[in-house]
A and B are shown apart, each in its own frame.
Chain A
Amino acid sequence: MMKFMRSLFGGGGSSNTRRVVGRSVPVDVKNVEYLAESTARLTTLYTLYKRYKGTPHEEKLKSAHDKTKAIHEYLVSRDRVHELELFHLQNTDHFISTFTVILDVHQQHNMTPLQIARVETAPEQVYKSTSVTEKIKKLEKSVNGVEMVRPINSQTAYFQKQEFNPEIARLTVPEISINTFAKIPYNRGNAAEGASAAEIGFTSTPLEKEAFLSFVATQLGIKNLSYAGNALVSIPNSNGSNPTGLVPIIHWEGFLYALNLNDFRLFPVKSFRKNF
């Protein structure tokens, strides 16, 4: 009883199960969003630093990441998250896009002139549509392929595999960076409506994105797609070349894929954005 009276009048020390009644703080929702965005940017900076590894500039990239992280931690600890978002908008974003573009262009420079020519024409090619049955066959093949990938679980099987295949191919999921302003033209070949040219980009309207996704879904015969943006990637071609071009990135069944619009091939990729 006395304990209750004390707690009522503030003399008994605070309990751990105190609940503050009153107006909830709506600002906190924005804070959480800003924090998530800031962390995503820090990851981007780290990824960028990794990409610059092996160059004489990697120290500076690491320094940029570390200093940005220090600012982030300082402002968060002072509860000045809004200032942090402002800082990122005015500084970090520009830095990231500048040095990502520099790196991308540099990697493009290392290609032969033939490949450069292909880069210029790749995004503008007309994408022919194939029949639905062909698409289903392709899909079935890939599904069966997945079932055949069994982990090596016996000593003898592993030894045999080593003999016949001295180099086990290492599948990787490359990282890509989403380009938030370029648009890719594509062709919706539709017998009923006639071929219609359209564009898809990060800045397209939701309606345009919907149209693009439904087009891709019918072509590939898959559902539950969402559109993530475009990215500059280098895709291995069936005739051995490695053209670099801007391709749409779609999100399907929990993973990101780069879509080659020429032959509708999906390549798994990953990006630094945590919320995708």
Chain B
Amino acid sequence: MPEDKRKHTPDKSILTKEQDALLDMYLKNLDDIFEGIKATEKVQVEIETLHLKRILSK
């Protein structure tokens, strides 16, 4: 199939378009999860600093 031939990749594509899209979605999912995990840490830091501020301002 001419449309499968890309620059240096072989022409055997074993995933359908759907499956390839699924793969992309999963990778994005992983990225989101990672961002989410880092975000929870930021929130934790925020909470701790607010708490400390409250203690100091008393």
Contact = CB atoms under 8 A, between A and B. Distances in A.
Interface in A84-117: 87, 91, 95, 98-99, 102-103, 106
A61 to B, nearest CB: 8
Given A78-B41, A102-B19, A103-B14, A56 B30 contact: no
B54 interface: no
A122 interface: no
Contacts of B34: 67, 70-71, 74
Given A68-B30, A71-B34, A87-B33, A60 B23 contact: yes
A75 B34 CA distance: 10
Given A60-B23, A64-B27, A71-B30, A106 B37 contact: no
A134 B13 CA distance: 47
A55 interface: yes
A204 interface: no
A262 to B, nearest CB: 30
A102 B14 contact: yes
A67 B36 CA distance: 14
A63 B4 CA distance: 21
B28 to A, nearest CB: 10
A30 to B, nearest CB: 20
Interface string B5-49: 010011011110001101110110111011001100100000000
B30 A64 contact: yes
A91 B28 CA distance: 12
Contacts of B26: 64, 91, 95
Nearest to B23: A60
Contacts of B4: 56
Contact of B14 (A60, A98, A106): A106
A223 interface: no
Contacts of A55: 9-10, 12-15
A90 to B, nearest CB: 9
Nearest to A67: B30
Contacts of A63: 27
A54 interface: yes
Nearest to B6: A56
A57 interface: yes
A114 B23 CA distance: 32
14 contacts: A55-B9, A55-B14, A56-B4, A60-B20, A64-B27, A67-B31, A67-B34, A74-B38, A75-B37, A91-B29, A91-B33, A99-B23, A103-B14, A106-B14
Interface of A: 52, 54-57, 60-61, 63-64, 67-68, 70-71, 74-75, 78, 80, 83, 87, 91, 95, 98-99, 102-103, 106
Shortest 6 CB-CB distances between A and B: which pairs?
A67-B30, A56-B9, A106-B14, A60-B23, A56-B13, A71-B34
Given A54-B10, A64-B23, A71-B37, 14 more contacts: A55-B12, A56-B9, A57-B14, A63-B27, A70-B34, A71-B30, A71-B33, A74-B34, A75-B37, A91-B26, A91-B29, A98-B22, A103-B14, A106-B14
